[in-house]
A = this chain, B = another copy of it.
Amino acid sequence: MNNIITFGEVLMRISPRGNKKFIQSNNVEFYFGGTEVNVGISIANFGGNVKHISCISNDFIGNTAVSYLNKFDLDTSAIIRSPRPLGVYFLEVGAVMRPSAISYNRSHSSFSEIKPSMVNWDKSLENGTWFHWTGITPALCKGSKDTLLEGLKLARKKGMQVSADPTYRSGLWKYDAVPREVLSELVSYSTVFIGGVNEINELLETDFSFSNEDFIAASMLLMEKYPSIEKVFDKIRTSINSSWHKIRARMWNGNEFKETLDLDITHIIDRIGTGDAFAAGIIHGLQKFDDFKTMEFASAACAIKHTYMGDVNYANEEDVLSILDGNTTGRLRR
């Protein structure tokens, strides 16, 4: 019985080890990721039951990807297999003032041929109580947007919670669509908004500032425009450089504003997927904790993700709660 549903592209990430560039070494490592499946795996590691829906290549690379999801005990039974290759991204990991760089090979991937007719949403959402989507899926192609929309409509009809991470990544939108309109429609089927002032400004064509006051005002306006939205959770990253960030969070749940203290990540191991760890923390937290503890849990989940290689968060619930209990000095566990 898998009640958490994630839907989105699974990508293979290929990266040289240890901050090297591709031109420096032909020894590379691969991982699997993709924003929605990152969220799914992270929730599974917290103890949740997760089904991930995707379209994956029908070759040994696709087999490896599915096996990777199985490893984390995700339900992979609804995954569609396609003759097209799995999407790939190449990553060069930066350090200090050198930014990390990504090059994508995903525009004709197996996921890019998904269409509503390929997903049996009725069956897929059978035991579902939560559906999570992000702004990446509708950006990829019309088929993925339409498929997602169909899923969201059914999810809402069934009374499921719907969390939205409506990141707008301009470089991705290549089919004929107005991103704001698409995202707006999708947000209108959502109940939890994981995003901040930037995302709201994008949606509402407003120009709220980054202050807490404006965050509250923006959130209120968002809830006014999209009455299904009940809560807004915003993650705030302070980047000293590529290797050193700070993370905190703030929220507006219709009644109260709260914010956390900064968590100081002095030695980043891998910053990919840290936003997804935050989203997973919100989704998992809302099923067990109050709103403030949920936000603290998500913030700590985001922070600890920076210490794991790869796209996914390996922390379990206990690992994250321990940070909330103040155990941030890294005392050895025997």
Contacts and interface: CB of A to CB of B under 8 A. Distances in A.
A188 to B, nearest CB: 28
A56 interface: no
Interface centre among A100, A266, A310, by most chain B C-beta atoms within 10 angstroms, is: A266
A332 B269 contact: no
B97 A307 contact: yes
A61 interface: yes
A269 B21 CA distance: 13
A332 B100 contact: yes
A300 B96 CA distance: 12
Contacts of A26: 24-25, 29-31
Interface centre among A19, A103, A108, by most chain B C-beta atoms within 10 angstroms, is: A103
A125 interface: no
A interface, how many residues as a size bin? 35 or more
Given A23-B314, A64-B22, A266-B240, A94 B14 contact: no
24 contacts: A17-B18, A23-B67, A25-B27, A28-B30, A59-B90, A59-B103, A60-B92, A67-B73, A70-B71, A70-B73, A85-B104, A96-B303, A96-B306, A99-B327, A99-B331, A100-B332, A102-B334, A239-B329, A239-B330, A240-B266, A241-B329, A241-B330, A242-B330, A271-B332
Interface of A: 14, 17-31, 57, 59-61, 63-64, 67-68, 70-73, 85-86, 88, 90, 92, 94-105, 107-108, 169, 171, 239-244, 263-269, 271, 300, 303-304, 306-310, 314-315, 319, 322-323, 327-334
